[in-house]
Structure 1
Amino acid sequence: MFSEPDERRLKYVSQNRRMVEEMESHIVRASDGFENAREPADGSRVLTIRNLSVEIRRGDRIVHPVSDVSLALDRGETLGIVGETGSGKSMTGLAVMGMLPAGGRVTGGSIDFGGTELVGLPADRYRALRGNDIAMVFQDSMTALNPTRRIGEQVAEPVRLHQGASKQAARARAAELLDLVGIPKPLERLDDHPHQLSGGMRQRVMIAMALACEPRVVIADEPTTALDVSIQAEILDLLDDLRSRLGMSMILITHDMGVIARHADRVGVMYAGRVAETGPTPALFSHTRHRYTHALLSSIPSLTQDRREQLFSIPGTPPDLSASPAGCPFAPRCAAATDRCHEERPPLSVEEDGHTHACWHPVATAAVRTGSGASAVARPAVSPEAPAARETMPRLRIVDLGLEYPVGGRGFLGRRRTVKAVSGVSFDVAPGETFGLVGESGCGKSSLGRMLVALNRPTSGEVIFDGASVTGMSARELAPRRSQLQMMFQDSNSSLDPRMRIGAILREPLAIQGIGRRAARTARARELLGDVGLPSGVLERYPHELSGGQRQRVGLARALALDPKVLVADEPVSALDVSIRSQILNLMHRVQRERELSSVVISHDLAVVRYLADRVGVMYLGKLMETGTTEEVYGSTAHPYTAGLLAAVPEADPAAPRPRSGTRVRGELPSPIDPPSGCRFRTRCPLATEVCAATEPALATLTGTHKAACHHPLRLPAAQPEELSAR
């Protein structure tokens, strides 16, 4: 006699015999042509994906996000899946989890998990498996966590569902898990709600939930995309450590090649729903074969990038996945494509070390990308040097700027509690110069940027624009100057009115300022689109009809509509793929030089600021920790905080040395409501001493324009080495 689950399984198979037969034929073809998917002799394979295809039906439209994908995962291994947005990375992970969106279904292929076929598995058996044996860390922790439930309840839920633990035992297990993932005071955090935690803490909670039942496989889908470089490094190191200690296997899904280089054992590169290239991480980076992989690596701005050169960018956009092109899907964007590439789809070619690629014209071994160069890729023309300032007066001067705002409740002795967002910040921006602001989320960068364009009023200090203080101006006095102070916002999707066409969005600032008639405004809008590399047909589209990169170009065009003198760009490329990011950075680089804009670029991406900025300011908890020219700050780092941020930047090179222990910034950012005494960075600084807690360091000159606010700078001032050496 069969058990009830076995009877249901037999009934299901008999009703779907045709699908099973097709699946078996796919498996045979995969084992014949895909070396990496073969089961190792020692039985260490935990997950095998063979010729997986997925379709999603959206009304009359059918999208094919995954087509004929074959990948494999061994015990204790991290498999990195990388590619642009829309390449099928996340959908592959969701297919393994059995969590495809509405209208989605597996149309072919096999997912073998330790001998259990997941394609066609009954829902009740999948539920028993999901969370218990295979778990997922989702991209956006704020939406993945239930905002109405306490943290302890959410972490304990898988333990109660899958292991039948009592409420008390599950709560104790939740506290143990929070401690395991590095959350301080775990017992207190159990009763918090998600909004009470920082982004890094919420991501740690997501990891704790995924590990609750000690699964064999964890799928981490862009687990650090929205996090600062320092928190990103901590989360990824935590995942590596837990994988090693608990004997798990992991699939790491990301678009960041630097993350893959540092944390993956093997890599699968996906494009347009298909596998373009796979192989061991060192081999794939040092002997890149597929043209798409090579282009991705070449598009990455590095900390050693020559600022006089334009970044390489992949032309065009990924294809529409509702259509299936006959040839190589990358052919329309590939400089090496031939007629054969457009007509025939290349098969996966297997090399001796298991390195595979699907390319008719693979990159030659002698021309592969090594380190930070890309010898096989032609570089665009060299950009001109930044124009020298022709005026002695700074275009923008920030003097001792501060911003505090009240929050609910009262502190010690009944005092009103305030968030100290910006405290005593001063710097200048010359005509035609770009000043970069870097730092972690919550350090006050965006608040400072909004004050520079008079969207927020400071509580102390002033902003001087072209010799006049705009801080104390009335709305009437400020009106004629607003057109000269413009901002490019971080999220182009929310900063563009979804009810307005692009033409109306670009005409709006001209209409508000009373410039020209409708025909002249339309002509100006068309000219602006040309300046940012968009066709005039975009005028009649709505924002949702554009890609993320196109919307970001529209945001820049709108900011330039009134020919401003000052442009503040707040995280202009943080949400974009590496290829689109390069296009936007090149565009910004060209525009700011041609128009002699005074720009302030705000970002937590140090490579972006390194490429765009002439001078840099490093912020921490509302204060400037270090300022200087790009070469001074990046080449002769003085503040331990700056050094820690730089050490956390993942290089797209597996052979690059790992940062030394103690060099990276660790821990969470303190609350801006009650910042630490003395040096605000001292609670996370490896060099902190008693003087750091007692006295706040001033921003002191080291050499030339290089300044640092540190009692123990990593480089000594040229004028007084003896004094500092004695400390």
Structure 2
Amino acid sequence: MDWESAALSTALSTADGSANTDGIRLLTIRDLSVEIWRGDRIVRPVRGVSLALDRGETLGIVGETGSGKSMTGLAIMGMLPAGGRITAGSIDLDGRELVGLPAARYRAIRGNDVAMVFQDSMTALNPTKRIGEQVAEPVRLHRGASKREARARAEEMLALVGLPRPAERLDDFPHQLSGGMRQRVMIAMALVCEPRLVIADEPTTALDVTVQAEILDLLDDLRSRLGMSMILVTHDMGVIARHADRVGVMYAGRVAETGPTSELFARTRHRYTQALLSSIPSLTQDRREELFSIPGAPPDLTVVQAGCPFAPRCAAATDRCRAELPPPVTEAGGHVHSCWHPAEGPAARTRARLVVPAPAGSGPTASEPTGSGPTASGPAGSGSTASGPRLRVVDLRREHPAGGAGLFGGRRTVKAVSGVSFEVAAGETFGLVGESGCGKSSLGRMLVALDRPTSGEVIFDGEPVTRMSARALGPRRTELQMMFQDSNASLDPRMRIGAILREPLAIQGVGTRAQRTARARELLRDVGLPASVLERYPHELSGGQRQRVGLARALALDPKVLVADEPVSALDVSIRSQVLNLMRRVQLERGLSSVVISHDLAVVRYLADRVGVMYLGKLVETGTTDEVYGSAAHPYTAGLLAAIPEADPGAPRAPAAARVRGEPPSPVDPPSGCRFRTRCALATALCAQEEPPLTPVTGTHHVACHHPLGREESRS
């Protein structure tokens, strides 16, 4: 429509608050639409998108999975998937039109003028080629450099992105590097020809919070030093708040709202943006209240619907919203939104109270804090009841072969878990946090007897399950269940959901087939799914629905202990809130003892009564959530908290000294003494000589540190 095109032109000309008259604009996207043929269906992932980017600027594009963020980036790169094509619109890069450009001319631009940092570095890097070859390839292709010149340039770039010992890494293969190191290689490969535009597509999604902070700081620094512009694609509003100059919020292939970052966060106008911000769990979240979650799911992109695409999920929607697509409206400062009933800023963070149907005194209720008040097990943090704890872990250790030989030909071993001890009371949730590779998942698998420890004990209701034979352990397995991280991989793709839920009941000989089917329906109802899901296959469900099925399967045999390993790490912020609310409600209603494993500290803050912080196979701090989050005593815990990106552009950043730098040492050969000392600003000679034991800070708060935070002598 003519009025819409005119509004889009006005929005683009004022995207930075003024018309583009001084040549500062680098990229202009106008009314871009993309279609992808999938058999007899047409997917429309990008529908009339208009965005602009200035020189030296970072534009953040945010939205749920399927909103069109990545596909917009791939359209700019000329890398649409098979069956994909641009059906309308324009992509202008510094005066050069990219839409319709011949393939040979696009290849000359791609990697030279425009480069991309992909989400999954393990699949984006060629596993059969050495790191040096892959980083040097763009220089040889676009700059005509010799092999020696390109290798020298690759080494220079690896040093620039902070890869340790870059000369040695040139001959490594991707699988020999950690996730953070591979991501640095991806950045080096993208920047080796110093492009004018870099598209970073979820560059830190799979990384720990500490590595994420380093990678994003690195991108900011390189953008400034090399004079580049950047498009940062993410679903993390905290990352956007900290690293983007301007924001574009996408939903169902369309731009819902754009504007300067501080303006958009302070004066949120689109109801979808407001809902996204409200869905983020924060470290100050009241655990007695449910997290806000966006109802429903994103629309089917094969269907062309009338009206605002967010209307079916919007509490403010009217008949007009369902019938007419709202046009872009430009406000002061280049703030543009497309909403018939714009919001007046972020929503107030008011939530429904958790109501727990349990007898008085049997567990936390809606009227008492669950992190500091009494629980089903007595005083919070005690970890025990009058009859003893539900789960007790005593000096648990797990070592396994690493492959290859040691210095003198001996077998090398990975010390995954090294002497961990803690207790979990009936009805209590214990959270385990730490970086990838610290031993959290290895510990979780031993808790449910999927793996045997090298030494130590897991004692469940007074019985040492680690000593039981397979026959004796069989009946106890029903009481120890695990909710896996990847619901897509943990559900059999050849089985319908009904068969998946009936299977554990059938193995244990519970009921008739009709009774097992009735139980499956009951489980689906408990996790908020309709009975019709019984006849579907896993691939027919969304990520959030699959995770709900994973929880239902774990609950099928009424376990007493549930171990949840990164249960929401792969989910969008809106779906994550739904699953977290469900997990918390189920845990409280059933009185489950739970162990929640995550590197997301906000998730653990919401779910856990007590927290254990792991580093390189050891617990370095334990305590109630209020103690650990409110007054962290270990420098590592404080560093993890400092690295969390807060969804507030005006929030003060933690000083650089407080953040954890570098990557963990190898668990094959951990440092002597305190294992964290190689990354700790407070480390002394004592830390290298003696391993600090867990000592009390208060009655329930313990720390393993020679120089705990908060003590005057540690600052002298």
Give the alignment's TM-score, normalised by structure 2: 0.95
Query: Which amino acid is the alignment partner of residue 683 of structure 1?
Result: T
SS of the residue 1:336 aligns to: coil
Check the 8 A contact 1:36/1:71 in 2, yes or no. no
**C-alpha displacement of 1:34:** 4.2
Match of 2:710 in 1: 715
Check the 8 A contact 1:34/1:348 in 2, yes or no. no
Query: Which amino acid is the alignment partner of residue 334 of structure 2?
Result: G
Match of 1:526 in 2: 521
The reply on whether 1:618 has 2:606 as its aligned counterpart is no
CA separation in 1, counterparts of 2:148 and 2:707? 49
Query: Which amino acid is the alignment partner of residue 641 of structure 2?
Result: L
CA separation in 1, counterparts of 2:389 and 2:680? 34
**C-alpha displacement of 1:323:** 1.0
In structure 2, the CA distance between the partners of 1:232 and 1:700, relative to structure 1 (3 Å rule), is same
Match of 2:547 in 1: 552
SS of the residue 2:334 aligns to: coil
Check the 8 A contact 1:27/1:109 in 2, yes or no. no
Choose from 161, 169, 175 the match for 2:141: 161
Q: Deviations over 1:510-547 (max 9, x none)?
A: 00000001000000000000000000000000000000
Choose from 228, 232, 235 the match for 1:248: 228
CA separation in 2, counterparts of 1:715 and 1:587? 37
Match of 2:467 in 1: 472
Q: Deviations over 1:471-513 (max 9, x none)?
A: 1110011011000000000000000000000000000000000
The reply on whether 1:424 has 2:419 as its aligned counterpart is yes
Check the 8 A contact 1:82/1:268 in 2, yes or no. yes
Check the 8 A contact 2:621/2:694 in 1, yes or no. yes
Q: Deviations over 1:252-295 (max 9, x none)?
A: 00000000000000000000000000000000001100000000
Q: Deviations over 1:363-410 (max 9, x none)?
A: 12xxx22xxxx31x6522344355422732100000000001122222
CA separation in 2, counterparts of 1:93 and 1:531? 39
CA separation in 2, counterparts of 1:552 and 1:532? 10
Match of 2:353 in 1: 381
Choose from 636, 642, 649 the match for 1:647: 642
**C-alpha displacement of 1:343:** 0.6
Choose from 218, 234, 240 the match for 2:198: 218
Choose from 137, 140, 163 the match for 1:183: 163
Match of 2:588 in 1: 593
SS of the residue 1:417 aligns to: strand
The reply on whether 1:126 has 2:114 as its aligned counterpart is no
Match of 1:563 in 2: 558
CA separation in 1, counterparts of 2:565 and 2:376? 25
Consecutive unaligned residues in structure 1, runs of 5 or more: 1-21
CA separation in 1, counterparts of 2:84 and 2:420? 52
Q: Deviations over 1:84-137 (max 9, x none)?
A: 000000000000000000111001110000000000011111000000000000
Choose from 328, 332, 341 the match for 1:361: 341
Match of 2:360 in 1: none
SS of the residue 1:442 aligns to: coil
Choose from 627, 630, 639 the match for 2:625: 630
Match of 1:31 in 2: 9
CA separation in 2, counterparts of 1:134 and 1:545? 36
CA separation in 2, counterparts of 1:715 and 1:464? 35
The reply on whether 1:76 has 2:56 as its aligned counterpart is yes
SS of the residue 2:438 aligns to: coil
**C-alpha displacement of 1:450:** 0.1
The reply on whether 1:230 has 2:210 as its aligned counterpart is yes
In structure 2, the CA distance between the partners of 1:408 and 1:274, relative to structure 1 (3 Å rule), is same
Check the 8 A contact 1:462/1:471 in 2, yes or no. yes
Match of 2:320 in 1: 340
Match of 1:330 in 2: 310
CA separation in 1, counterparts of 2:45 and 2:19? 26
Matches within 5 A, 1:223-302: 223-302=203-282
CA separation in 1, counterparts of 2:498 and 2:4? 49
CA separation in 1, counterparts of 2:7 and 2:714? 69
Match of 1:310 in 2: 290
**C-alpha displacement of 1:77:** 0.3
Query: Which amino acid is the alignment partner of residue 123 of structure 2?
Result: T
**C-alpha displacement of 1:60:** 1.0
Q: Deviations over 1:599-622 (max 9, x none)?
A: 000000000000000000000000
The reply on whether 1:407 has 2:416 as its aligned counterpart is no
Match of 2:188 in 1: 208
The reply on whether 1:144 has 2:124 as its aligned counterpart is yes
SS of the residue 1:191 aligns to: coil
Q: Deviations over 1:160-219 (max 9, x none)?
A: 000000001000000000000000110100000000000000000000000010000000
Consecutive unaligned residues in structure 2, runs of 5 or more: 356-364, 379-384
CA separation in 2, counterparts of 1:427 and 1:124? 62
CA separation in 1, counterparts of 2:551 and 2:291? 18
The reply on whether 1:398 has 2:393 as its aligned counterpart is yes
Match of 1:481 in 2: 476
The reply on whether 1:501 has 2:496 as its aligned counterpart is yes
Match of 1:606 in 2: 601
SS of the residue 2:408 aligns to: helix
CA separation in 2, counterparts of 1:409 and 1:342? 63
SS of the residue 1:84 aligns to: coil
SS of the residue 2:697 aligns to: strand
**C-alpha displacement of 1:29:** 6.5
Match of 1:510 in 2: 505
Match of 2:362 in 1: none
SS of the residue 2:651 aligns to: coil
What's the % identity of the aligned pairs? 79
In structure 2, the CA distance between the partners of 1:711 and 1:54, relative to structure 1 (3 Å rule), is same
**C-alpha displacement of 1:27:** 7.0
Query: Which amino acid is the alignment partner of residue 236 of structure 1?
Result: L
CA separation in 2, counterparts of 1:337 and 1:693? 62
CA separation in 2, counterparts of 1:26 and 1:285? 25
CA separation in 2, counterparts of 1:413 and 1:203? 33
Q: Deviations over 1:536-583 (max 9, x none)?
A: 000000000000000000000000000000000000000000000000
SS of the residue 2:559 aligns to: coil
Query: Which amino acid is the alignment partner of residue 659 of structure 2?
Result: R
Check the 8 A contact 2:59/2:248 in 1, yes or no. yes
Q: How many residues align?
A: 691
Choose from 83, 86, 104 the match for 1:103: 83
Query: Which amino acid is the alignment partner of residue 478 of structure 2?
Result: S
Check the 8 A contact 1:230/1:648 in 2, yes or no. yes
CA separation in 2, counterparts of 1:50 and 1:25? 14
Check the 8 A contact 2:46/2:72 in 1, yes or no. yes
CA separation in 1, counterparts of 2:350 and 2:23? 45
CA separation in 1, counterparts of 2:437 and 2:676? 13
Q: Deviations over 1:610-641 (max 9, x none)?
A: 00000000000000000000000000110000
In structure 2, the CA distance between the partners of 1:25 and 1:49, relative to structure 1 (3 Å rule), is farther
Check the 8 A contact 2:8/2:328 in 1, yes or no. no
CA separation in 2, counterparts of 1:454 and 1:39? 64
Choose from 674, 688, 691 the match for 1:696: 691
Query: Which amino acid is the alignment partner of residue 464 of structure 1?
Result: I
Choose from 151, 171, 180 the match for 1:171: 151
CA separation in 1, counterparts of 2:119 and 2:265? 25
Q: Deviations over 1:15-58 (max 9, x none)?
A: xxxxxxx9x99976632454446851110100000110111111
Choose from 433, 436, 440 the match for 1:438: 433
